[in-house]
Amino acid sequence: MLRIENLNQYYGSSHILRDVELEVAAGSCACLMGRNGVGKTTLLQCVMGVLPARSGHIFLEGKDLLPLPVERRAALGIGYVPQGRQIFPLLTVRENMELSLPMRRDGLRSIPSFIFDFFPVLGEMLSRRGGVSGGQQQQLAIARALVLEPRLLILDEPTEGIQPNIVRDIAVAIRRLNAELGLTVLLVEQKVPFARRMADTYMIMDRGHIMAQG
């Protein structure tokens, strides 16, 4: 599904990603782990196109993503849930989700109903502002990515700053998406128990390089 080859990225003269190589198989749930500041978020941003890579290749089902802008990558089937969620607090829950509709490949202009099977609380909050609790914002951020009906879902620290009961709900939803819809998942996570529960495979990053995987 996703293959990264010899990927390099710099911030100024600092070499952040160093010949990164990794592969995420279709239908799997893979977890990228490592300490703060080792390049995990930078790697996800390069995959999504938020940051341009200096060199290397990123393939989605054989198609090289590097020449493509963010919106083209989304339209190819990548859903991205950034660290910090980036919900628009003055827009409603419905409006936050509708922001993804223009990037759908099939031109659908309504929120897919299956999303509320996985996050029923959002169906009860459609008219409320997006500035709700952290846990509900994370559910909304995932739902906004799912509006695209992606083939690959990328999540950057989905448990950060969230109460344990909502973490459990999010874990159940992600595993269901993976198992029932065959959605391929790549997540960055620092909590080992959550990673053990979620992932089929793991990669550990240190100093911008994948040091171990299995």
Question: What is the average per-residue pLDDT within 159-176?
Answer: 87
pLDDT of residue 135: 76
pLDDT above 80 for 134 = no
**Residue 159 — very low, low, confident or very high, per pLDDT cuts 50/70/90?**
confident
Question: What is the average per-residue pLDDT within 174-193?
Answer: 92
Mean per-residue pLDDT of the chain: 91
Would you say the pTM of this structure is higher than 0.75?
A: yes
pLDDT of residue 106: 82
pLDDT of residue 184: 97
pLDDT of residue 1: 93
**Residue 60 — very low, low, confident or very high, per pLDDT cuts 50/70/90?**
very high
Of 87, 98, 4, 1, nearest in space to 44 by CA:
4
pLDDT tens digits, 99-132: 999 888 887 888 999 999 999 999 998 999 877 6
- The DSSP call for residue 1 is -
CA distances from 22 to 29, 39, 88, 121, 159 (A): 13, 14, 33, 35, 23
pLDDT of residue 132: 67
User: Three-state secondary structure along 25-73?
Assistant: CCCCEEEEECCCCCCHHHHHHHHHCCCCCCEEEEEECCEECCCCCHHHH
CA distances from 213 to 33, 34, 38, 48 (A): 10, 12, 16, 22
pLDDT of residue 84: 78
